[in-house]
Amino acid sequence: MSAPEIPQEPSPVSDSWQQMVQAVLAVVLLVGAVAMFHYYAPVTTEGVQPDELQKQVTQLSQQVAQLEKEQAMPALVLNRYRNSIGYIYGVYDVGFANQPATIRARVSGTGFLVGDGLLATNRHVAEPWYGDSEAEGLMQQGATAMLESLVVFFPNSLTPVNLTPGSVSSTSDLAVLRIENRQAVNGLAALPLAKGVAAPGELVTVIGYPMGIAGMVAKSPTGIYERLAYRHNDISAASELAALNVDVIVTHSSGVRAARQATSTIPIVAASAGDIVASRLVSSLAHPGGNITGLTYFAPELLAKRLQMLKDIAPSLARAGLLLHRTELRSNHTIEVVRVAAEALKVELFVIEASGREEYESAFATCDEKRIGGLVSSDNTPSATAAIAALAATRRLPTLGSLELAKNGGLAGYGVDFAPMYRRAAFFVDRILEGADPGDLPIEQATKFRTIVNLKTAKAIGIDIPPLLLAGADEVIE
């Protein structure tokens, strides 16, 4: 496993709007000068007639006015180029040779078509390990980082387009990726990029965070991004986003609550949120009210289902742990639903909290102290699934959680296929930018669930998977 080679080279992107305006103005002046010459010089039969020159001047003046109007109205530009702004999704890992990946996680972000087959984005999307202290620490010890896949989805298209490494900035969180199939973006207009530092919101301001609060500010000073980056689900970060007065905020999970605490006026799209009604963030699915809409899945029932599967796999299970991210502990409803399921299964339930990868060691120490025989993990631990799976394997502890957990060495995974939900979130953004009230847009529920069984892990910890569960699995890892 080796990290992709990223050449440090300039990207052939479009010139700035300022250059364009200056160029057009220069043409206007030139044509004006020519017009004056023709008005005061003898007109020949082969020359351009004054009325034709006047038409050219008028046309160019209209183009300049349109450019100035677009510079002053970000929303208008966003509407013009909305189909050229895509959602990037990928999977990466960081690890040592001949060993399971220490970190395996998803990455997502916003991409802007800026040239022929070129997509601008953040460097931390092109190189997800960039700025991640844990990943960089592992790499200093000899680990390598690798993108398993990276694709972009454009509006009005359900077909992903593959991306390959291009250029990255050596001084800031900016990068340009290459689009493998250029024909897939034929007909899409390239966004003009500001050549220098611009005021926040100039031309286009897009802040996308399907994977958390951290986002991207297009054509804005890098300092704004630096203040927001790597502060997922942080109310202060959400407050700074609200202060930018953006058109819409897109977030997920507990980031929805953080965004709602920061603003009650800016529309918020939940790309995925667990039981958004029980959390009292919206009035109902059909009529959300307020400023939140998007997609939800019933997280408490999902955790209860995982506990049921764990009991089916280990019928003698008497004590089970429920591993939650600390922010989830604010939802008593979630814990109560799982506790009721545990009582029905005659299983004693222990709630264990953690808020970062560094805390999972102590969380598993609690499992040892409580003599827990199996563990159910929530979906709010996407960047730590490999660490959770490794800690569970060393204790031979059956652990069920998200689909990513099973792929990273957990015993099994049952959960939502989030990728279609994130793609669908673009629909809500589009409706809001067209003028729809988020409170009037019904919230949609997840419809696609999958089961993954890791037979390799089952054999390693001495667990026999019931044939019925094995037969119903969508994917079996041998």
Tens of pLDDT along the chain (478 residues)? 444 443 444 443 334 444 544 544 454 444 454 444 444 444 443 444 556 656 655 665 665 555 555 444 444 445 566 778 788 888 888 889 888 888 887 777 778 887 788 888 878 888 888 877 778 888 999 999 999 889 988 877 768 899 998 888 776 667 888 999 888 888 888 876 544 444 433 333 333 333 222 333 333 334 434 444 444 445 666 666 666 677 888 888 777 888 888 888 989 999 888 878 887 889 999 999 999 999 998 888 899 999 999 999 999 999 999 998 765 545 677 888 999 999 999 999 999 888 766 678 888 888 888 899 999 998 866 567 888 888 899 999 999 998 989 998 999 999 988 888 888 888 898 899 889 999 999 999 988 889 999 999 999 999 999 999 999 999 999 8
Burial of 62 (0-12, 13-18, 19+ CB in 10 A): exposed
8 A C-beta contact, residue 437 and residue 462: no
Helix (H) or strand (E) holding 305: helix 299-313
Look at residue 328 in the predicted model and tell me its pLDDT: 56
Q: What are residue 279's phi and psi, to 5 degrees? A: -75, -5
Residue 130 CA to chain centroid, in angstroms? 16
What single letter denotes the amino acid at residue 436?
A
Helices (H), 13-97: 17-40, 50-72, 74-81
Q: What was the pLDDT predicted at 310?
A: 95
Distance separating alpha carbons of residues 225 and 381, to the nearest angstrom: 24
The closest alpha carbon to 447, from 295, 288, 283, 338, belongs to: 295
Going by their DSSP bridges, the two strands 374-377 and 348-354 should be labelled as unpaired
In a 3-state reduction of DSSP, which class is residue 224? helix
Q: What is the pLDDT of residue 388?
A: 87
pLDDT for 354: 80
Give the C-alpha separation, 121 to 176, whole Å: 6
Predicted confidence at residue 345, as pLDDT, reads 94
Q: Write down the residue that tokens 């929530």 correspond to.
A: 378
Cβ contacts of residue 302 below 8 Å, gap of 6+? 274, 379, 414, 415, 416
SS3 108: strand
